[in-house]
Amino acid sequence: MLPFWKVITREKAQGLYSELSPLETERLPIEDTLGRILAEDVHSGIDVPHFRRSNMDGYAVRAEDTYLATETSPIELKLTGVVEMGKEADVSVSPGSAVHIATGGMLPHGSDAVVMLEYTEQLDEDTIEIRRAAARGENVVSIGEDVKRGELLLGKGSRLRAQDIGALASIGVTKVLVYRRPRVAVLSTGDEIVPPDAEPRPGQVRGINLFVLSALTSEYGGIPIDFGLIRDDYETLRAKVAEALDTCDVVAISGGSSVGNRDITLSVIRSFEPEGVLAHGVAIRPGKPTILALINGKPVIGVPGHPVSATVVFDILVRPVIDRMMGCAEGAGERLTVRARLSRNVASPSGREDYLRVTLRREGDEWWADPVLGKSGAIRTLVKANGLVRIPLESEGLERGEWVEVRVF
């Protein structure tokens, strides 16, 4: 057995691909851009709204006409018309009058406030009673109050969410420039691995990493390309990796990354570019037997075969690579974190970072993180967990009640 070749810290591992450039761009209809990364700044060419509109159902009034109105001493105003939805207001408000208006309706000339419907009563077809004073501008959305003409609406590097797409539609932008999604080749190796629909014989296990890593790739915004299950055969694996390098932007190989006699992933990667291997071993648990390489400018990552190790490595090392290639702005791809108290003591040898699976629960006004213990081959520990806690390299563990940051997944 050979020792690990180059063991580095997690920080150094994450920095190995810091010079990667975003992929080329494409201009797409906004309905096809959820989760995509903007490759340009988007400024608004218009004011939103471009007319004064009501923010409530009620009556458009002159605020000064309502100043004396109270529940016990209401005032009466003359009802002079109705604002039709979707049309320019063709009525006006003069002193002592009011106009019926619905939410979103255009504020009529002469009015500067809207009294909510629940603070009024229509006495007859020509008269309404106001039981509450309205301040100037109350329940009114001014021109450009939402978005001003020329304002930066969304910056380059933003990950587009549903509300962002809605905002683009509101200013009349129907297509935007985004970075291409990286194609991530996912390979799973091992003579002991069989497909999920097969009945494993003694010594065999159903392969799940192909599905887990493909799903994570999709979750992170990449396009998973399934290269299937591959036996521990050097020539077969090398041919598949060569095909993956020709057709994809990132290559992720699950299994065979350790130092056993059947672990051939390192040899295969080095056969393409001996100096392309940047690290063999990362000082984390789970996930130490990780290979990080760069071949022809493309990241090639050998992740451990144990499902928990593979998942943790993919989250902390592969996700930033996908983010970078998609043009994601600094911090825009980070997972949500929750501050919680740890519910029990957890030991950790110094010299490596431990990633502890936890389940979050609410107790009073605080979140508590319950450790989910188990070996790196037990996928059920990830099913039970909903977050990870990082125990620092120099720490010897965490104590019960200590505050921790939980990376939620």
Residues 201 and 289 reside in one and the same domain: yes
pLDDT recorded at residue 261: 53
Q: Which residue has the tokens 């979750």?
A: 219
Residues 228 and 119 reside in one and the same domain: no
Q: What is the pTM of this model?
A: 0.87
Does residue 187 register a pLDDT over 90? Answer: yes
Residues 115 and 127 reside in one and the same domain: yes
Cα(322)–Cα(311) distance, rounded to whole angstroms? 15
Residues 236 and 287 reside in one and the same domain: yes
CATH of the domain at 135: 2.170.190.11
DSSP 8-state symbol, 318: I
Q: Which structure tokens are listed for 383?
A: 């099913």
Rounded mean pLDDT of 350-361?
Answer: 93
Q: What is the pLDDT of residues 293-331, one digit of tens each?
A: 999 999 999 999 999 999 999 999 999 999 999 999 877
List of residues 6+ apart from 128 with CB closer than 8 A: 59, 76, 77, 79, 98, 120, 121, 122
Confidence of residue 256 (pLDDT cuts 50, 70, 90): confident
Residues 311 and 212 reside in one and the same domain: yes
Residue 332 falls inside a structural domain: no
Does residue 58 register a pLDDT over 70? Answer: yes
CATH of the domain at 359: 2.40.340.10
Residues 157 and 37 reside in one and the same domain: yes
pLDDT recorded at residue 4: 55
pLDDT recorded at residue 260: 61
Cα(218)–Cα(351) distance, rounded to whole angstroms? 33
Residues 216 and 236 reside in one and the same domain: yes
**Residues spanned by the domain of 97:** 53-141
Q: What is the pLDDT of residues 28-56, one digit of tens each?
A: 999 999 999 999 999 999 999 999 999 99
Does residue 259 register a pLDDT over 90? Answer: no
Residue 331 falls inside a structural domain: no
Q: At what angle do helices 265-272 and 234-247 cross, to 10 degrees?
A: 50
| Mean per-residue pLDDT of the chain | 93
Compute the chain's Rg from CA coordinates.
30
Q: What is the pLDDT of residues 356-394, one digit of tens each?
A: 999 999 999 999 999 998 876 688 899 999 999 999 998
pLDDT recorded at residue 304: 93
Rounded mean pLDDT of 77-98?
Answer: 96
Q: What is the pLDDT of residues 209-220, one digit of tens each?
A: 999 999 999 999
Q: What is the pLDDT of residues 153-168, one digit of tens each?
A: 999 999 999 999 999 9
Cα(323)–Cα(17) distance, rounded to whole angstroms? 11
Rounded mean pLDDT of 106-125?
Answer: 96
Cα(142)–Cα(30) distance, rounded to whole angstroms? 27
